[in-house]
Each structure stands twice: as structure tokens, then as C-alpha cells.
Structure 1
Amino acid sequence: MTIVLNICIYIFSFINFIKIGDVNNPPSENGYGKVTYEYSISETELTNECYCFFLNSVAKTYDPYNLYNPIMGEYFWGGIVRKTDSNGNFVYYVKPGFEKYPAIGITWNSAIRFINWLNYNWENIKNKKDITYYISETEGDDNHGAYNTQKYLNSSLHIKRNKGARFYLPNKNEWIKACFYNGKEYITTNQNLQIANCYTEDGWKYPYPHLLSSEKGTVSHYGTINQNGNLGEWIEDPFGTDGRNWKQFLGGSLIRPKYSLDINYTEGDAPDKSIASVGIRIIQLTASTTKQTPPTISYTPKHNTRLSQQQDEKWIKIGDIQNEGDLYNQFIGNVNYEYEISKYELTNEEYAQFLSAVCRYEDPYHLYNKNMEIGAIGGINKIKQNNGEYKYQAKQGWERKPVVYISFYDLCRYANWMHYGCPNTGKCTIGTTEGTATQGAYDTGKFGTKSKKSIRRNKGAKYFIPNRNEWYKAAYYDPTIQSKNKYHIYPTQSSTPPSFQEANYMIDNQLCIGPPFYVCNVDSFQNAPSHYGTLQQGGNVWEWIEDWQFNKYGHIALRGGSFSYTEYGLSSINEDPGGINDISYVFGGRLARISQDTGYIYIPMNGKNYYYYIISQFYQSPKKSLLILCCILIILSLIIFTIMLKFKSVIKNIIYTLQYLTNIIIWIFLKKKKALLPTNESRILYIPCDPWSVWGSRGDEAMIYASMKLLKEKHKTEQFYFITSTDKGITETQNRGYKAIKAWKGKSPIYHISQALRELNPTQVIIIGADCMDGYYSPDVSFTLMATADLCSSYNIPYHILGFSFNENPSWKVKLAYLFCSSAVRFNLRDYFSQQRFEHFTHKKSTLVADMAFLLEPNPNFYDFKEYQQWCQQEKNKQQTIVGFNFHPMLKKNQSIEEIHEACSSLADMIIHLLNQHSELSFLFIPHDNRGKLSDTIVLPIIANKIREKGYAQRIKEIKEVYHADEIKAIASLCDIMICSRMHLAIGSLSSGVPVMAATYQGKFHGLFKHYGLPEDLLLSPATFITKEFISTFERLLKEKKSLAKTLQEKQPEINILSAKNIEE
């Protein structure tokens, strides 16, 4: 081991480059492959020994960019391991025998950092210098290195190579030419298919560890090895045009079928994602002679998985007949009959019993695959007995683990066998594995015939593969959810990604189980079932379902994710494709059944569900359906208007809906206008979410001032414009020294805003998303903000939607608008949970940021501040703890005045109790909002007066005025702890290092606390905020205030970086 380590640290093997000539070659039929210059490309994929040397050069003390990730060592074909030496430094070494194997799991971001480092150190490599001479820099800017890693990384904008560097990641033209061009033409079907390392109908092409050494495999005309198969290879080009920041990788891989080797086949993924089947290859531009110098640029422990060995009933009854489908996901999950589904995935032990019962003599349908014995994750041995018959037996330790390497047809035949009562004839015939249109669960006579209809169970089937709705309902439906939509995002009764204690999947590039098993027993994670009690419908292995992926002909759908995939695979919105004959080390399944003697009988949905189903079909094809829907609505509106003239509210809603649809149509036409040319004059335009007052919300004000400071520095401008809808908004804006445009007006404000955009042609548009992008307050406002961003994208006007939150119950009208929004529009979500809800609801990609207000600078330079500062200092001199306090009177929607007064009285009683129990407490009452008839300035005096009546006047200080956002932040910083129910007061406190206890509303504070890693039990619902739980929660806050303050201080730099991302290009 020491020898291997020393080799890795002190010797860097040359990367052998092959010259690619034939300059000015023609492009291929797909338009790629033409290269007008000579270049060289590495003969092989980057090896473990090369990447290991790189890691020892740059990531010995720490690894801030996650250049190493655990799957490089834990995965069964991974070859690099990281250890920690006695000095606490990292040391990387190659597993014995894996030196020449390609390095896996390198992210696209890590690839360009490796290439930057390679450019800086090429002279050292050529001269075989000791590692101590190497420049340990991976970062680049516009003038240093091959790539600028300070701009656009993980953004939707394409990172272009710098001029003058020697080494780069290949672009698509360079890669395709090297792989497919033979000097005369493109060989689009690889000539080396017999040796290409791709997945076959029999499973793995090569023995364990299944990956080929970099020196073995296919050879191109120019001499590159394994450009086809083995590992996919990252290239420079972006993947897709939907606004995501994904990058392409080409060449297929050992887990992809042979069609992935075709010249037209492309895959893509996130640039910061580590994938076990993707590596890199490098190009060298021989014309470059510029010496590269680096710029001056100023391991989470693995969780232990607790696996439960408890057994329970195998079949779970799924009731709740005629349930509604998922309103936010195409109405999937509606099932109109009672059925049962297996609690567990199908095991090796169960499948081995099946094989022994039907394949003792021969296996005509290849129900057993050799990889079940020799492949990774395989758990079944095939044993030939003395009498010539075969028996099948689960490997020791693998009995209760899920069977893999089964195709969709294999699972159908297993269902037939179960349907027939598990006969033990040793043969695959009608009555055991085979069926007809009237016998068995599936008609196997149709297998292999081309049809746009997916394979469906027979009427009367007793056991069958669950279809999309059955599987989805069992995994995600929960009738106890207290909202209109009754579906979780994850199959663990949660809309938050599960931990390693709840599911077997990959978190932050770490495997949950790891070697040697990787998968866990099917009865694990008893603590994280679905509502009905199924286990591991998320993670472990993908599960076949009966439908085409997304109902589109070509690929059977798989659901649930696997041990080697991220939380996206577990989520309800994801559905992966599988060829109907594909087998894989991550493909398994489970069955469902009808316990009645009649077996399966289709039952149609009721009228209410049929209505929702029609709506879901509209969501799938919105543009084709919009005109039809508008016509229908107009006709229905006229009928309803005639019949129900006296019901004014009904007519009002119909008119409102028609106006909303009209605005969508206007917006669609506005998008067709020509893009604008950039202007030389810098001017910034703000689109507020409150165009009536503009400055009324202190939260909006905080975001405006924080962003304005950064924009002034960036654009060197003082010209700021604000869209408003009122004279009051104009006056207030002008009083602050800015210009106002009254463009949010009329029934169709988007039309007038479009005109303002085109006339002003601003340098930058800033849209204040806040909490107004989900339609909770106003679908019209949400639509206008989103549509404005879309118009900016269409008109070529730079824009940013400042990070917004997204609540648990968004308006369906907003979803209608998001359907027509361009995929190029960039959305910033200000907390993790909002991002999950937003992407689940809209199916749009987004960027996680932190609230812009975190960067607001406090302003203590106002007259009254000294008064509050002196009072706080006076109290602290008495060893008092200053508790900031605020109460939002409208935590619950539509509360009566009596209910608000009762809440104030309860809060006063609890503060009196705390003052009585803790003589060291003093309270500073801080109002944050004065809008409306019942604002903070109305309710806080009610609470304060009751406290004074009990004799505690000397220990409270009441602020009467609502100050500006930066002034409120200065006041908050005077406190030791804060109790509040205003999110931006919480942000001002947390960013000042003041621990917070809060009353939540619209699900906002949970994401805010997640940024800091704060305990969620410091958050109370509006109902519990005015109960005795207020006291116990405060006691905890008081006890832990020092440790919480330390956490805030440590986390704040990370959050500031996230906040600055709001206005990154």
C-alpha cells in the first residue's frame, strides 16, 4: 500500500495525446464534427493515478470545492480512497490494481478545475518535478487558466474557454470528430460494437468490476480508446435550452445500452453532480504557446443506517376509493378501486423460488441472468445438480435484499406465476409463466410485438405490476394532510428529502450503505413508511411500473430512485425511462394484487375526478387547449350569466377568470415582439410586488436597499426607476430620490409594463418576488411579476427575480400562468422548502439563494436610536437579558377583532409569567409594519399596557414608530434574543447574530432556519404561539442562546454568499 501511495504522490504519468488533423473537415449529418484547426485529444479517459496525483496536489489540507467525493472510493468500480494522516491532512491513494482504470465521479465543475491546474503545471509535469513544486491552484478568471470559475459556475449561462490556454475540455465538435470521423466520412454506427463496454440484453458486458481499464476497449480511426462505452465523458457544451445549467456528456457508458454509442445520442446532468458512470477526456490545442499562471484569488461524516429486521404482513391494503389525483402533478394517483400492494420490493429469495419452480430444466425466456451471480448487486446462484436439473438459491446475506437484473417482461412472467398459484412444474409454459388474452395476468404472446399501447394486465388478473396511479397513490397519497392537495413529495410521508436513517439513496455524493452490499434489506427503514405502510418506494432500487414513461411511447417507466441516485429520483415528479428488455443492477420491482376472486376489473372515475382529470390533460397540452378552453368558458359564462343573474359573486368570479385568461393571451402576444439592443446608459428598473405603496413593506424595503447597494457598485449608476400604480407610490418614490413610472394600471397591467420596458430599455430589471409568486395574496400580482420576467427574457433585457418564498397552497391560476412561461426564465427561491414546492408545482428549474435582505447594512444614524441604545445598555448594566418582541396580528387569515384581542391577552399573560419567573429579563417591543387597520403599532400597545398594569413597566420599553428597514435592523442588533412573527425582522436579527424564536406562517420560517441549521422546535404555529408552548419554547431559547449565537456567526458568511447570488449574472 505504501508503494502505491508513493507512486500516486510523486509520479504523474504523462497523459498521452493523439493529434487530430484533417483540418476543415465537413460536419456530420447532425451538424457537429467540423473543426477548422489542428488539435490533440487524450488517448484514454483520465485515469485514477492522474486524478489522485491532482488531489494530493490541491486538496491535501482541505477540499472546499468537493474535488473528491466518496463514490470515487465506495463505488464498486471506484479506484481512489481518501485517508487522514496523523497531522489531520488528507492523503489520497489508488486502490491496488486500479491505477490505469478511468477516474469516476468527477463533476463537470471538478473537470474544469483539473484542467486549470493542468495548464498551470504542465512544465512541472513535463520535467517530472516532485509534487512539492506544483502550483496547487484550481481557480481561473478571464485572463488565467482555461476557464473562469468565478463567474457563471452553476448558472444557466455557458462558460466559454479562455484564449491562450493549452488544455481544455473538448467541445462537441472536437469530441465527435475524434470519435467518429475517419478522414473521409463519419462512421455513425460504431465498428467495435462487439467489444464496446455497454449494457447488453444479458447485462454487464465484462466481469466484475465491469469497468474496463483505460487501455482496453474500442479504438477510433485516430487511435482514441473507449470514446464509445465504458464511461460517459463530459464536454464543454450545455445540455438543453430550458434554462437549466446542465452540461452534456457523450459516448454512452457501461450502464447504457448499445444505442447510446450512436453519434446522435446525448445525455446531460447538473455540473456539480458526481456520476459513477461519467469521467473526462482532455484536449490540447497545439497552437497555444502561452505559459499559464494562476490568478490571485482571494467531509461530512457518513451516517450510520439503522436497518430494521422486523417482519410485517407482506400485502398492504390501499383503500380511499375514488381519491383525487395529485392536483400539482397531472392528477396522477387517482384509483377508483381497492387493491393491495406489496409492502416490500421483490427479494432474491422470492425470485430464486420462482426460478427453481419454472426453470429447473431450461430457461427459454432468460428469466435468470448470469449477472445475478457474478455482477455487482447480484444475489442469486444458479446450481447444476447431479440429475442435470438446476436449482436457484439466494446468496448468503442476500436473501432479503431486492432482486435486480430483471426486465419488465421478467416481472410480468413472475406476476403470471403468482396469478396461477405458484405452480412447481419446472417449466415455462401456459399455466406457469405464460399467458394468453384470457389466461394469466399478462398475455405473453404479445411480448416483443411493436405497439404504441403499453403492456396491460388482463381483466381478472390477481397479481400484476402496479400501474402509475397505483404505485403513486401507495407511495405519496396521504388523506390526513390538512390541505387541498393530499400528496407528499417523497414516499416517507414527507415533502422534505429523507435522511440516511429513512432511505437508501445518495446524499451529497455519499452512498448510504456502501460496499459490499450497496442495497439494504427490503424490510429496512420501518421508521419511514408511506402513509399506507409500504417501505422503500424511495431509494434502494428502481421499480418497474406498467406505463410508458410520461405516457409517451418508447420507454417503460421506472419510479422510486435507487441507492446510487439523488433525492430527485425519489420525488413524485420524477419518472425514469427503461427499455422494455433492459436489465440493470438498479432495476427491480414489486407487485400489486386484487384479493377478491374476480381479480382486476377496471372501474371508471366519478364525475368530480373526471373533471380534475380533464384539467390535468389541459396542463399537459396547454397551448393546444387554451383556445378551446377560452371558447368554452365564454359560452358557459353567457349561459351562467343568463341563468344565475341574481348570484353576483358567481358572475364576478367568472368575469375575473375571463380577465385572467385574457391577460395570459395578451402576454403571449407581447412575447413575440423583437428583442432590444443593449443601451450604453446605466439605469435600473424595479418591479415591486406592492405597486400601490411600493415602500409600505419593510421586508420589500430591505430587499430593495440591499440590492441597490450592490447594483450601484456594479453599474456605477444612481438612476433607479420604480413601477407603481398610484400617485402615492409616485410621491413616496420621488421623496426618496428615485424616479417613478405609473405603468401598473388598468385591467391588463402587463401590457403597460411591456410598453415601459421597451421605452426605458433598462440596463437591469429587478423584480421583487417576496412572498407574492404563489398566488396566495393575489394571482394577478403573481402573474404580472412572472410575466414581466418572461418579457425581459424575450426582449433581451437583463433581469433578476429576487429570492422569493413559495407556500404550501399555491393558486391553481398561477400554475396556469407558469405553464406558458419560457423555460429560459431564471427563478431564485430563498429557501430550500420553497424551492421544493416551487419545482414540484411548476415543473420549472430554479436556483437556491438566500433572502436579499441578509445583505442589508444596519443604520444606527437616526435620532431616536440613541434613546433605545441607552435603555438597552442601562438594562445590560443590571445584568439583564434584552428580549426583542414583535407580534404580527394577521398570522391567521380572516381573523376577527375579538380573536386578535384574545391572542394579545394570552401573549401578555405569558410575558408576565416570564417576567415573574426570570428577574433577569427585559423586553423591547419592536413594531415592523404599520399597514392596515390592525398593524403592529395597534396590537403591541395592547400587550404592553396589560404588562404595565401588572407592575412591570420598568422592564419593558415600547417603540411607538415603525422605522425604515435598515434602522429596524440596527435596533434588533441591540437585543440578546428575539421573539417575532415577521420574517424580515427575523432575518435582520439572525444576520446580526441574535437568536430567534418565531411564529410561522405560510411555511416561510422553516426554510429560513434550515439555512442556519437551527432547530425547528424554536418555530411555533400561529395556534401554539399563543399557548403555554410559547413559554417552554422560550425557556429553551434562553438556555441555548450562546450556542445558537455562535452557530449564527459561523453560518453567516455562507448565507451572505447565497444572498449575493440574487443578482449574479
Structure 2
Amino acid sequence: MSSGHPSAIRSGCTRTARHTRVPPEQQDLMKTLLSRLVLSPLKKKIRQPVEAFRRTPSYVDRFELGPWSKAQGLVRERSRTRPAKRLLILPSDPITFQGAKGDEAMMEASLRVIRQTNPGVEVGAITASDQASAIARASGFKPLQNWNRPFSYESIARAVSAFEPDICVVLGADVLDGYYSTPHAARMLLTADLVARTGADVEVLGFSFNSTPSPGLARLFERLHPRVHLNVRDRVSYDRFVAFTSRPAQLVADSAFMLAPTTDSAGVLRIAEWVATRRAEGRTVVGFNLHPMLFRNATREQISALIERSGRVLADAAAERRLSWLLIPHDYRGSLGDDVCLAPIGQALKPKLGDDVFHMTGEFTAAELKGAAGLLDGVITARMHLAIAALGGGVPVAAVVYQDKFRGLFGHFGLPDTLMMAPEELIGGNAFDGFVRDFIDHLPDLRAQVAAALPAVKDLSAKNFGTVA
């Protein structure tokens, strides 16, 4: 029986309230299990119907076309000047601006072509973050940081009217079919429309179009202003596009084929010296690229399997075919970047191959990456714009593909589907071993085939700029 003394009561309360302390590592494990077993499935269950709705015409009509229609009244139309005084760039990712080197390649190629006929043009760029605006300024562009959250067509209309562009290029890349996001695709296209309504000519640079585009985008394409000129970057995508919508489009090749390579920077010269040394020792020098986005929402197990299998096959092929490997990152976006895979592959190969493996560390420009790719005998890549950089330098390519956009690119050169492999095949069985060996064994014939097709491909690439250059 308690004495009722305050100290006794406090002591009793202390005994009943005392809890066993869970060690920090067990807390982390419990959080991980909670996330994997409860929160992640719950988020996925909620996200799936939301994403399905966003692909519908009902969503696009109400949440994209509706606000866009209201914003049109804020656009001030004017006559464009010739030569153009102001160029506006809409990147495929306004948040990072140039995180993927493909966007940088398309921008630099566009500026090179456009400045030939518009030498004093001022360049503006639509951005969505302080980081993107800083990158734009460093490139000599004026940032228009109006791609906000929540997104506002009215804000975009005011910004583009104030900038008064004469011409505009939109980096459609692989985002205009809604594969990644229907809202983003709609906003890219309807922003292009608002720019056209100021009196500017707009070129949507060559883009891919997959086999399952968002149904809600069909009517949206058809409602774009006539000064929005659509360019589709391969025959496969073009055929899909004309079957999807009645909006006219032009068949082109990717605008990045117009990028001029950098061959004289310190980084590229160092690679050139290494390549020359390896060739002098009788080695065939091949580039290799891999990235964690090969699987959508990739698990640690999938990424580990990519790294382990690739490292083993590259080591075996180096011994059997007298190869040297250049590991080439083409995307530097942190957890989405290529070094998530390439850095551990390089670390695993270095003790086995010594000087026969070279990992390109640090960040290279798109033009430098094209210069480096052009030094090689072949390239195996999971990034399409690294494939374009290599092919643009006459270098044969094989690809690990996670969308079917490579098929259209390869079609420009008459390259067979056997030069493409799905990531599931790479990590399962022994198919990747044979894939690498077959590619190496056919390099001379493939190089001749690429060289024969390249002039026509460059001519198609130049067609991207019909109204802006």
C-alpha cells in the first residue's frame, strides 16, 4: 500500500512509464520495413488510379486545356523580327535544365545552327528552380523562372509576352507522349502554343513517340497554334504519331546530330592519349554506359544485378577479345545518374584489367562526350544521346534499351534489332555475354554501314530548324 508520499508516487509513476530503449539500428530497420511493407504499397495503390485518370481526355480537357484557354487572353501578339532578336528555349526538364547531357547536346546544336543566321540573338530559357536558373545564366541565357508549383499557364503567358521572343525551340526529347507524365507533356506543348501566339515561330525539336501515348494528348496536339512546328525524330515514332493524331508533323533525325564535337580540351586529350596507347598494344577500345533508370523504380537488387553482371561480362570480354573499356557517364543527376552503376563497375574492373579500363570521372560537356565517343571503335550504351554522339562520329553502337526509342534511331542507319537488348535479358541468363561478343566481332562491317548512312541522317537533322534558322 502506497504511503501517499510524493516521492513514492513519483517513483511508482517512473516505474510504470519506463520503456525499453530501441537501438538506433533497429529503429532504422523498423522504419525500412514500415516503408516497404506498408507505405510504399499504399502510395502505389493511391498513385495508380491518379495516374490512370491523368492520361484521360477528361483530365486534359479540365485541368490543362481549360486553364490554357483562359491564359490566351494574356498573350500580346507582335510581328517577329528578321533576323531574330530573341530566342526562347523550353528544356525537356525545366527543374534541372541540363542534368541529362542529351538536353545540353540539343541546346548547343540548336544555338550553333540558329546563330549562323541570327548572330546577335539574345537567348532566354524557361526554368523551374534556382539551380536551373543559375545554369541558364552560366550559359549566357536569361532565365524565365516561371515554371512554378502550382503550375500556372497565366504566369507562363505573362512571362513569354514580356520576353517578346521571335523564335523558340522546344526540347521534346522523349517526354511528349506522356510516358513519364501526361501533365508535363501537356504543359510543354501548351507553353509552345502560348509562345506561338506572341507571333514567334516555334520548332518542337525531333522527339520520340512510344507505342502507348496518353489518350488525352490526341486532341491537345490538334489544337496547337499553326506556328508550332512538330518534328518527330525517327520513322517508327513518326508512324505512331500520324496514327495517333491528325496534327501534321515532319520526319527528322535528332537535332543533336548537329552538335560539333570538342576534341582539344584537357579531358578529351587525356582520353585520346589513353586510346592511342591501348591501340598501340593491339587492343580494341570500346565505350560502355549503364544507368539505374533502366528499370522503372529500380530496386537495389536490380541495380546490384546490373553492376555485377556487367562487370563480369566486361572482364571476360576484355580477356577473350583483347578489349579496353572506356566507362562513359552521360547523366550526372545524383541518384539517377550513370555513376550509380559505372563507378562500382570501374572499381571492380580496375584490379582485374589495370590500364585496360578507364572511368571518365568528373563532368564533361556534351560536346566533349561526343569528342570522346568519336575516338572509339564501338560503344555499348543505355543512353540514347550517347548513342547519337557515337553514331554522329561514325562509331558503331549497341544498346541496352528500356524504351523502344532506340529502334527508331537504329532505323536511320539500318542497324538490326539484334544490337538492342532489354535490361531483363542483361541480368538474366548468359545472353549479355553473346551480345557483347557479337557486337565486337562485327565492328568493321558496322562502321562501314554507319559511315554510309551518316550524311543522309545529318541532312534530316538539319530539317529541325526550318523556321528558326
Which interval holds the TM-score relative to the shorter structure? 0.7 to 0.9
Q: Which runs of 5+ in 1 are unaligned?
A: 1-646
1:712 aligns with 2:115: yes
The 1:1022/1:654 distance shift into structure 2, 3 A limit, reads closer
Which residue number in structure 2 is paired with residue 1021 of structure 1?
422
| CA drift at 1:894 | 1.3
The 1:762/1:1005 distance shift into structure 2, 3 A limit, reads same
| CA drift at 1:655 | 10
Which residue number in structure 2 is paired with residue 1061 of structure 1?
463
The whole-number CA distance in structure 2 between the counterparts of 1:857 and 1:650 is: 43
Q: Does the Cα contact within 8 Å between 2:209 and 2:241 map onto a contact in 1?
A: yes
Which residue number in structure 1 is paired with residue 134 of structure 2?
731
1:740 aligns with 2:132: no
Which residue number in structure 1 is paired with residue 314 of structure 2?
911
| CA drift at 1:939 | 1.2
The one-letter amino acid of 1:1043's match is: D
| CA drift at 1:670 | 3.5
| CA drift at 1:994 | 0.8
Q: Does the Cα contact within 8 Å between 1:804 and 1:829 map onto a contact in 2?
A: yes
Which residue number in structure 2 is paired with residue 790 of structure 1?
193
- Superimposed CA distance per residue, residues 924-962 of structure 1 (whole angstroms, 9 cap, x where no aligned partner): 11111121414211211211222234x222321111223
Q: 2:437 aligns with which of 1035, 1041, 1049?
A: 1035
The whole-number CA distance in structure 2 between the counterparts of 1:677 and 1:818 is: 24
- Superimposed CA distance per residue, residues 392-436 of structure 1 (whole angstroms, 9 cap, x where no aligned partner): xxxxxxxxxxxxxxxxxxxxxxxxxxxxxxxxxxxxxxxxxxxxx
- Superimposed CA distance per residue, residues 809-857 of structure 1 (whole angstroms, 9 cap, x where no aligned partner): 2223333533543566421000111111222222322110000000111
Mapping 1:75-474, distance limit 5 Å:
none
Mapping 1:567-586, distance limit 5 Å:
none
For residue 716 of structure 1, give the secondary structure of its aligned residue in structure 2: coil
Which residue number in structure 1 is paired with residue 407 of structure 2?
1006
Mapping 1:69-80, distance limit 5 Å:
none
The whole-number CA distance in structure 2 between the counterparts of 1:832 and 1:746 is: 36
The 1:795/1:924 distance shift into structure 2, 3 A limit, reads same
- Superimposed CA distance per residue, residues 123-151 of structure 1 (whole angstroms, 9 cap, x where no aligned partner): xxxxxxxxxxxxxxxxxxxxxxxxxxxxx
The 1:867/1:718 distance shift into structure 2, 3 A limit, reads same
The whole-number CA distance in structure 1 between the counterparts of 2:282 and 2:371 is: 21
The whole-number CA distance in structure 2 between the counterparts of 1:844 and 1:924 is: 43
The 1:809/1:650 distance shift into structure 2, 3 A limit, reads closer
The one-letter amino acid of 2:297's match is: N
Q: 1:869 aligns with which of 246, 254, 272?
A: 272
For residue 696 of structure 1, give the secondary structure of its aligned residue in structure 2: coil
The 1:971/1:651 distance shift into structure 2, 3 A limit, reads closer
For residue 207 of structure 2, give the secondary structure of its aligned residue in structure 1: coil
1:767 aligns with 2:175: no
Q: Does the Cα contact within 8 Å between 2:291 and 2:339 map onto a contact in 1?
A: no
1:1051 aligns with 2:453: yes
The whole-number CA distance in structure 1 between the counterparts of 2:182 and 2:457 is: 30
Which residue number in structure 2 is paired with residue 691 of structure 1?
94
Mean CA deviation greater in 1015-1024 or 655-664? 655-664
1:989 aligns with 2:396: no
The whole-number CA distance in structure 2 between the counterparts of 1:932 and 1:817 is: 34
The one-letter amino acid of 2:170's match is: I
For residue 818 of structure 1, give the secondary structure of its aligned residue in structure 2: helix
Q: Which runs of 5+ in 2 are unaligned?
A: 1-44
The one-letter amino acid of 1:1010's match is: G
Q: Does the Cα contact within 8 Å between 1:663 and 1:748 map onto a contact in 2?
A: no
Q: Does the Cα contact within 8 Å between 2:128 and 2:145 map onto a contact in 1?
A: yes
User: TM-score with structure 1 length normalisation?
Assistant: 0.38
- Superimposed CA distance per residue, residues 7-62 of structure 1 (whole angstroms, 9 cap, x where no aligned partner): xxxxxxxxxxxxxxxxxxxxxxxxxxxxxxxxxxxxxxxxxxxxxxxxxxxxxxxx
The 1:701/1:654 distance shift into structure 2, 3 A limit, reads closer
| CA drift at 1:900 | 0.6
Which residue number in structure 1 is paired with residue 380 of structure 2?
979
Q: 1:936 aligns with which of 321, 329, 338?
A: 338
Q: Does the Cα contact within 8 Å between 2:222 and 2:247 map onto a contact in 1?
A: no
The whole-number CA distance in structure 1 between the counterparts of 2:52 and 2:297 is: 23
Q: 1:921 aligns with which of 320, 323, 348?
A: 323
The whole-number CA distance in structure 2 between the counterparts of 1:890 and 1:908 is: 18
The one-letter amino acid of 2:411's match is: K
Q: Does the Cα contact within 8 Å between 1:910 and 1:1028 map onto a contact in 2?
A: no
The whole-number CA distance in structure 2 between the counterparts of 1:753 and 1:1009 is: 37
| CA drift at 1:889 | 1.8
The whole-number CA distance in structure 2 between the counterparts of 1:653 and 1:995 is: 38
For residue 266 of structure 2, give the secondary structure of its aligned residue in structure 1: coil
Q: Does the Cα contact within 8 Å between 2:190 and 2:224 map onto a contact in 1?
A: yes
The 1:662/1:1037 distance shift into structure 2, 3 A limit, reads closer
For residue 684 of structure 1, give the secondary structure of its aligned residue in structure 2: strand
| CA drift at 1:912 | 1.9
Q: Does the Cα contact within 8 Å between 1:659 and 1:747 map onto a contact in 2?
A: no
Please state which structure has a larger fraction of its residues in helix: 2
The 1:798/1:890 distance shift into structure 2, 3 A limit, reads same
Which residue number in structure 2 is paired with residue 846 of structure 1?
249
Which residue number in structure 2 is paired with residue 962 of structure 1?
363
The one-letter amino acid of 1:832's match is: R
For residue 826 of structure 1, give the secondary structure of its aligned residue in structure 2: strand
- Superimposed CA distance per residue, residues 780-830 of structure 1 (whole angstroms, 9 cap, x where no aligned partner): 221112112323443431110000001122223333533543566421000
Which residue number in structure 2 is paired with residue 946 of structure 1?
348
The one-letter amino acid of 2:116's match is: E
1:897 aligns with 2:300: yes
Percent of paired sites with the same residue: 31
The one-letter amino acid of 2:421's match is: L
The whole-number CA distance in structure 2 between the counterparts of 1:929 and 1:810 is: 25
The whole-number CA distance in structure 1 between the counterparts of 2:346 and 2:387 is: 21
Mapping 1:574-653, distance limit 5 Å:
none
The 1:910/1:650 distance shift into structure 2, 3 A limit, reads closer
1:664 aligns with 2:59: no
The whole-number CA distance in structure 1 between the counterparts of 2:284 and 2:51 is: 53
The whole-number CA distance in structure 2 between the counterparts of 1:794 and 1:941 is: 47
| CA drift at 1:652 | 6.9
Q: Does the Cα contact within 8 Å between 1:978 and 1:994 map onto a contact in 2?
A: yes
| CA drift at 1:718 | 4.1
Q: 1:776 aligns with which of 164, 175, 179?
A: 179
| CA drift at 1:1031 | 2.3
| CA drift at 1:997 | 0.8
Q: Does the Cα contact within 8 Å between 1:723 and 1:742 map onto a contact in 2?
A: yes
Alpha-carbon RMSD across the aligned residues, in angstroms, is 2.3
Q: Does the Cα contact within 8 Å between 2:133 and 2:143 map onto a contact in 1?
A: yes
The whole-number CA distance in structure 2 between the counterparts of 1:1032 and 1:650 is: 38
- Superimposed CA distance per residue, residues 374-401 of structure 1 (whole angstroms, 9 cap, x where no aligned partner): xxxxxxxxxxxxxxxxxxxxxxxxxxxx
| CA drift at 1:658 | 6.1
The 1:658/1:829 distance shift into structure 2, 3 A limit, reads closer
For residue 293 of structure 2, give the secondary structure of its aligned residue in structure 1: coil
| CA drift at 1:706 | 0.3
User: TM-score with structure 2 length normalisation?
Assistant: 0.83
Q: Does the Cα contact within 8 Å between 2:381 and 2:387 map onto a contact in 1?
A: yes
The one-letter amino acid of 2:432's match is: F
The 1:731/1:1019 distance shift into structure 2, 3 A limit, reads same
Which residue number in structure 1 is paired with residue 40 of structure 2?
none
The one-letter amino acid of 1:734's match is: R
The 1:816/1:960 distance shift into structure 2, 3 A limit, reads same
The one-letter amino acid of 2:69's match is: I
Which residue number in structure 1 is paired with residue 12 of structure 2?
none
Q: Does the Cα contact within 8 Å between 2:200 and 2:227 map onto a contact in 1?
A: no
The one-letter amino acid of 2:424's match is: A
The one-letter amino acid of 1:747's match is: P
